[in-house]
Amino acid sequence: MNKVITLITILLFTSCSSTKQITDVKDPIAQVNLVLNEWHEAAAQANYENYFSKMSKDAIFIGTDATENWHLEDFKTFAKPYFDRGKAWSFSTLERHVYINIEGGIAWFDELLDTQMEICRGSGVLILTSKGWKIQHYVLSMTIPNENVDEVVKIKKIIELQTKLKYQ
């Protein structure tokens, strides 16, 4: 009888405490990094479908120009000609920081990117969906060395006057 109880206890213990479940759980930060890396790679390869599959249905993309604040469908329309000609844009990550909320369903990040515009900064938010992590909000910014801000402001001042007037 003791052998039967011992055997049942061992079976119950091993079936309830599966270490496989623990080791099969992927690191959410690694998952977010993978999505972002694949997203940037899809743009570099002009893979329209793969690029936009990484974004949520209600995604927002904010570009470097003050007028670039796109909902997903508008961004797709803007980007399609770039992808169609076989060369969209190529961003290589220099540095990235990823953070996950305590509940595990929201991630946010910032990254430094090597781009055709030199170094840019990307930042954004991803949400965990039934289809995995999706980019919901992305902001691309050009970096300006502090000692050159005055020069850049002079260039921007006239160009962005129309944008300012639009909001006044």
The structural domains of the chain, ordered by start, are 28-167 (3.10.450.50)
- Rounded CA-CA distance 146/144 in Å is 6
Per-residue tens of pLDDT for the chain, all 168 residues? 555 444 333 333 333 333 333 333 479 999 999 999 999 999 999 999 999 999 999 999 999 999 999 999 999 999 999 999 998 999 999 999 999 999 999 999 999 999 999 999 999 999 999 999 999 999 999 999 999 999 999 988 888 888 888 888
Distance CA 160, CA 139 (A): 19
pLDDT digits (tens, 9 = 90+) for 49-77: 999 999 999 999 999 999 999 999 999 99
Containing 149, the helix (H) or strand (E) segment is helix 149-159
Decide: 53 and 39 in contact? Cβ < 8 Å.
no
Task: Specify the pairing of strand 92-100 against strand 106-115.
Answer: antiparallel
Could you say which DSSP state residue 116 is in? Answer: B
Give pTM, 2 decimals.
Answer: 0.81
